[in-house]
């Protein structure tokens, strides 16, 4: 069973994956973000529309292999994916269906690969949106990508959006946001007595998860 953790840049996806991996070790599988692996490995940044098409095809292919490898290595039957196969459509100039056709697949087929999608909203600029060697978008660009990602993945029947604010409109801190995501994931986490019960995140966890 594959579960997508998605969202725009600086949403908290990677930190959440690190927390899950630390709590459950190889009782769950983790598929890292394909784009980060490619770009940190020297894959050139796209400069033209043709470049972007080649890049997204490469990311899509690597995503599939990372997920298959994680399923093979995991002791359990759950794999958490740092983004899913349709995330590339948010960088595509056409529609999600045009993206799927370019990847020789369909939107319905890709959605059916995943049991659940948890979408973490891009962090507000005031909460410390930062750039790095892979995250090069401005905050405005990141927010636009986040909205596009939501439009795409909300097509999934088991889509959960974790916003930066509560239902009452109160801003969520980052730890509270992670715990909201963990609560949504809880039904799919291991319950075997040999693995720990779900423990919610603390500020100390964030320090340990930091690179």
Locate the domains of the chain by residue range: 2-204
* Mean pLDDT across 82-94: 94
Ranges 90-104, 129-143, 194-208: which has the least confidence: 194-208
Q: Average pLDDT, whole number, for the chain?
A: 84
* Mean pLDDT across 111-118: 98
* Mean pLDDT across 201-205: 53
d(CA 118, CA 108): 18
Highest mean pLDDT among 21-35, 50-64, 177-191: 50-64
* Angle (CA) 67 59 74, round 5°: 15
Q: How does residue 204 score in pLDDT terms, banded at 50, 70 and 90?
A: low
Q: Report the predicted TM-score, pTM, of the whole model to 2 decimal places.
A: 0.83
Q: Which CATH number does 2-204 carry?
A: 3.40.50.300
Q: How does residue 210 score in pLDDT terms, banded at 50, 70 and 90?
A: very low
What is the radius of gyration, based on Cα positions, of the chain? 17
- % pLDDT > 90, the chain: 46
């Amino acid at each position: 069973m594959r579960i997508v953790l998605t969202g725009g840049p600086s949403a908290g996806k990677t930190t959440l994956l690190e927390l899950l991996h630390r709590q459950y070790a190889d009782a769950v599988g983790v598929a890292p973000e394909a784009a980060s692996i490619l770009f940190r490995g020297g894959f050139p940044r796209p400069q033209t529309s043709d470049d972007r098409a080649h890049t997204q095809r490469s990311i899509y292919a690597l995503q599939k292999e990372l997920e298959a490898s994680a399923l093979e290595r995991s002791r359990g039957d759950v794999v958490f994916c740092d983004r899913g196969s349709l995330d590339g459509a948010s960088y595509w100039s056409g529609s999600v269906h045009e993206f799927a056709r370019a990847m020789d697949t369909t939107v319905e087929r890709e959605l059916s690969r995943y049991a659940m999608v948890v979408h973490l909203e891009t962090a507000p600029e005031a909460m410390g949106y930062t750039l790095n060697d892979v995250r090069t978008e401005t905050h405005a660009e990141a927010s636009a990508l986040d909205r596009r990602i939501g439009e795409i993945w909300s097509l999934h029947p088991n889509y959960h959006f974790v916003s930066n604010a509560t239902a009452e409109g109160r801003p969520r801190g980052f730890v509270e946001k992670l715990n909201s995501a963990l609560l949504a994931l809880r039904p799919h986490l291991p319950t075997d007595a040999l693995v720990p019960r779900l423990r919610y995140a603390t500020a100390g966890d964030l320090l340990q998860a930091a690179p």
